[in-house]
Amino acid sequence: MSPPTARWPAATRRSGRTTPAGPGSWWSRRGRSPSPGAAACPGYPRSSGCTTVWTPGGRTRNLGRRRPVTPVLSADFGRLWAAQAVSQVAAKSGLLVLPLLAVLLLDASPGEVGLVNAAQYAPVFVVTLLAGAWLDGRARRPAMLAAHLGRALLLGLAAVMVLADAVHVWLLAAIALQVGCLTALADVAAHTYLPTLVPAAALPAANSRLEATYSVTQIAAPGLGGIAVGAVGGSTLLASLGATYAVAAACLYRIRQPEPPAGPTRGAGALRRIHEGARFTAGSPPLRSLMVQAAWFNLFEQVILTVYLVHAVRFLHFSPGLLGVTVALGAVGAVCGSALARRIERRVGIRGTLVRGMAVASAAPLAIPLTAMPTPVAAALCTVTFLAFGFGLTVFNVYSVSLRQRLAPDHLLGRVTATFRFVTFGTIWIGALVGGVAAELLGTRPTIVLAAAALLLGWVHFAIVTRRVEPTLWTVGERLECAS
């Protein structure tokens, strides 16, 4: 039966609005009474906007959830978004352009290509935590401006050296290392600057736009960089990338909203907080399994990508433009994976989606060593490989991030994310070095075969480990269903 009238709240929250519960209200006109304290769907936070009501028969009914209104973002956020989009295009293009120039201009060996690649990724592992500690208590926008302008100057210097035919592999690696350090600083500063520019209510909408931009540029920009190398040449492309960073700095400079003063720094407390985030991540079976799998995958994925540059140019006789096309079209697979991830989850659940997405991404590189055939057929097979690779990896990433956000408490989410980034990105530069050395000792084709086999072994371990995790911990899907 319905609860006594005396116990009804004076107002009940529904879909973010306060609705009177007295005579003549929405409830009484429909012969219903609000449940005392039932302001959300069972199992979901009160802020979800779902409502459960009492019917005259004493039963409950879920009235569902109204779709939230997307907050209006300011023009200053638009300038930050433009700066991030432009700088990400330059940063992700450079990841392929610099080692590709080492192959085309300097006839670099696989080991030297691995050195240039490692120089780009090593700062992510070394600088990230130090940059976070240094930025604590300092203004973030000036740091981002300095990082953009510094990368513009470094790439402009590299363009002049290439034009003068005065570049060497070690010099190219040194420039890649310095650009990587500034990139790590800019990435950390951008993540900490956003909450000072955007109101708390608009943070999800702002982060959604930035993450979508990052996903597209991460897959498409390296391939476009390869196409540009063949179209305009190395020195012109490096100068263009430097100019791109200058444009990003100009967008940041046009932001009008003043940055609030930073809070005081806390040295030992910061170290303790980092330890708390790492301990929580390691102590959660789903988060631990996702982090270990991502680190393992990034290690051998980078081995394959490093060796693929040499294998495609020297053994498959791909032009720089054709090489770029095979990689860039992986973005189409990523877009398809993002669109279909929800549908896959509805059929097989969260764990099934993660396992199947990682299976596709891990098995796709096995097709690369099979491309000992005419160039058009080899190019088509490599393109299909990267399409499948982008599809599976995006499906995995969509629910990996969602699960991390669901399981980590709000006060630990930032530190859990930092722990993931430190561990999973830290294996990339190791993979670049290992790939270069292995290709020199074993050859490009055997190295790709062994790395692809290692990816499959990692997937088997991931499938077994996640099967042992308590099923109730894979609960992010239920929350997403309520949000739709």
pLDDT, average across residues 393-422: 74
Q: What is the 3-state secondary structure (H, E, C) of 263-308?
A: CCCCHHHHHHHHHHHHHHHHHCHHHHHHHHHHHHHHHHHHHHHHHH
62-83 pLDDT, tens digit per residue, is: 444 444 444 557 888 889 989 9
pLDDT of 429 strictly over 70: yes
pLDDT of 59 strictly over 90: no
Confidence of residue 320 (pLDDT cuts 50, 70, 90): confident
Give the model's pLDDT for residue 476. 45
> How far is residue 127's CA from residue 200's CA, in Å, rounded to a whole number?
28
Structure tokens at 197: 């520019």
CB 381 within 8 A of CB 321: no
What is the sign, positive or negative, of the torsion defined by CA atoms of 450, 451, 455, 461? Answer: positive
Helices and strands, counts by H and E, the chain: 16, 5
Among 271-280, 383-392, 394-403, top mean pLDDT goes to 383-392
**For the chain, which domains are there?**
5-62 (no CATH), 74-259 (1.20.1250.20), 284-484 (1.20.1250.20)
Give the model's pLDDT for residue 165. 85
Which of the pair, 476 or 202, is modelled with greater confidence? 202
Give the model's pLDDT for residue 345. 82
Which of the pair, 121 or 14, is modelled with greater confidence? 121
Burial class (CB in 10 A: 0-12, 13-18, 19+), 201: exposed
Angle between helices 285-310 and 375-407 (to 10 degrees): 160
pLDDT of 30 strictly over 70: no
86-116 pLDDT, tens digit per residue, is: 999 999 888 888 888 888 888 888 888 888 8
Give the model's pLDDT for residue 358. 94
Give the model's pLDDT for residue 234. 82
Give the model's pLDDT for residue 136. 62
279-306 pLDDT, tens digit per residue, is: 888 888 888 999 999 999 999 999 998 8
pLDDT of 315 strictly over 60: yes
Q: Which of 309, 308, 301 is nearest to 431 (CA)?
A: 301
pLDDT, average across residues 418-425: 80
pLDDT, average across residues 122-131: 74
Mean pLDDT, the chain, whole residue set: 76
Give the model's pLDDT for residue 412. 67
> How far is residue 289's CA from residue 474's CA, in Å, rounded to a whole number?
12
Q: What is the DSSP string of 41-89?
A: -TTS-GGG---EEE-TTS-EEE---PPPPPPPPPHHHHHHHHHHHHHHH
17 strand-pairing partners = 14
CB 313 within 8 A of CB 323: yes
The position carrying tokens 């991540």 is 281
- Indicate the SS3 state at residue 34: strand
> How far is residue 119's CA from residue 100's CA, in Å, rounded to a whole number?
14
Give the model's pLDDT for residue 27. 39
pLDDT, average across residues 254-266: 71
> How far is residue 141's CA from residue 442's CA, in Å, rounded to a whole number?
47
Give the model's pLDDT for residue 18. 40
Give the model's pLDDT for residue 105. 83
246-255 pLDDT, tens digit per residue, is: 999 999 999 9
> How far is residue 303's CA from residue 433's CA, in Å, rounded to a whole number?
8
Contacts of 5 (CB under 8 A, 6+ apart): 33
The CA-atom distances, in angstroms, between 423 and each of 122, 289, 429, 459 are: 12, 12, 12, 18
pLDDT of 184 strictly over 70: yes
Q: What is the 3-state secondary structure (H, E, C) of 193-238?
A: HHHHHCCHHHHHHHHHHHHHHHHHHHHHHHHHHHHHHHHHCHHHHH
52-56, 379-383, 437-441, 465-469: segment of lowest average pLDDT: 52-56
Query: Dihedral of the CA atoms 391, 394, 398, 399 (nearest 10)?
Result: 70
Compute the residue count for the chain: 484
